[in-house]
Structures are given as structure tokens and as C-alpha cells.
Amino acid sequence: MTSSPWSCILWDVDGTVADASAGIMPRITQVLSDFGRTPPAPDELRHWIGPPLLESFQALGMLSAEEATEAVIAYRDLASRQGYASSVALYEGVPELIRAVHEAGIPQATASTKPQNQVEAILTHYELDHAFTAIVGATPAPEVLDTKAIVLARALEQLAAAGVDTSRPVLIGDRHHDIDGGAELGVPVIYNRWGFGNPGEEQGAIAVVDDPDQLRELLIAEED
């Protein structure tokens, strides 16, 4: 028999469930080049993965708000033509953990600032969509800046609407944006080190894990 200290589990996607860097970084490079900007080195581009692109094109790409919106449109056009699930790999051990959580009867949702249609495409492609009570991502409109707190609140609302107990939620993520978003709503965060975060971004997390086996110990308790 299994149990969990959590009434529901919420997952970040990029850097936690999926590694989409093989597609994300070339697209960002192409879009910045098309806007006449010099693209960052690959090590710097890793910092773009996780936060909303509308924010990153302004803060890191030094584009104006109007240019950033156009850049997001261009980026998403590339992603659409290439296929949302193309060049996306799931982290080893994570799909098995998601299935184990589902089989244990613990409700799950995504809470990602990746556009919702892209999150749905990835989970459907890898046949994980059935394991989630709610699949929540950012609003696809390019001019809309959905922060982590916004999508997290939306995920909790959808879980509650489905009859899920949301009194003891936990979010799993790999960037400080996850921790900041969780803090706004009083949702504790477990920080995973296999994603795109930098040293120090785990500050504020209730726990830090190096691999899915360590994470499983925090999510599922085996009972005699």
C-alpha cells in the first residue's frame, strides 16, 4: 500500500519532465539573428529555458516589448512547423515516477509557463497525458505574460474543480521562478538539480533532489 504526504503534486515541464533544449536553443538563436542581435553562447542560452520567453527576449535579448512579442510569434511559428514534441526528450526515470504517482492515486497537474498546447502535445506524444488530472500551461497568446504564480494558481483551480483536495500541494521545478511562484501562493517547492537551474537557485525550496529516485522518496511512501 502507498500513501503520500501531499494531497496533489504539480510539475514544472521544461527542465523537470522534459528536456527540449535541442529545439529551444536553435530557435532562439535563429530568432535573435533575424532581429539583428548576436545570439548568446550555448551555455548562456540555457538560462533562457524555464522563464516565459516574452520575459527573456526583453531581459536577456534586450528587445523592446513590441519586438519581444514579435520574437515570440516567430519562435512559436518555428516550433509549430518543426513539431512541438520534436527534439524533446524526457528525463530518465521521470515518466516512470509520474506513472507510479498516478497508480498510487495521487492527483497530478502540470504548472508550466510553456504554452499549454505545447505541453499537451509533449505529454500526449509520450502517452503521459492520462496520468494528469489537469494539464496547465501558459496562455498561447504571444503578448500575454503568464508568470509561474499565474499558471500555478490556474492548475490548483482546475484540480479543485475536479474535486481534488488541494490543501497539501507541492510543486516540483528546476528554476528560481518555480520557487518564487510557489512562494506567492504558499505552495512548497521541491527543487530538482537535473534541469537548467544555476547554483543558488534552490534557495527557498523545502528539499533538493539529484535524481528521480530521491524525488520518489519524497512523493510516495510505502506502507506495510
Is pLDDT at 34 greater than 90 in this prediction?
yes
Position 202, amino acid: E
Among residues 17, 15, 39, which one has the least CA distance to residue 177?
15
128, amino acid identity: L
Is residue 222 predicted with pLDDT exceeding 80? no
Residues 60 and 166 in one domain: no
Q: How large is the average pLDDT for residues 11-26?
A: 93
Query: By mean pLDDT, which of 32-36, 109-113, 172-176, 220-224 is the weakest?
Result: 220-224
- For residue 224, the model assigns a pLDDT of 56
Query: Which domain, by its residues, includes 58?
Result: 21-82
Task: Tell which of 29, 63, 82 closes a domain.
Answer: 82
Q: Domain of 71: which CATH number?
A: 1.10.150.240
Coil, helix or strand for 155?
helix
Q: What's the mean per-residue pLDDT of the chain?
A: 93
Which pLDDT band, with edges at 50, 70 and 90, does 132 fall under? very high
**Whether 126 and 174 share a structural domain:** yes
pTM to 2 decimal places: 0.88
Give the CATH number of the domain where residue 181 resides: 3.40.50.1000
- As given in the structure block, the three cell numbers for residue 195 are 534541469
Q: Is 33 exposed, middle or buried (0-12, 13-18, 19+ CB in 10 A)?
A: exposed
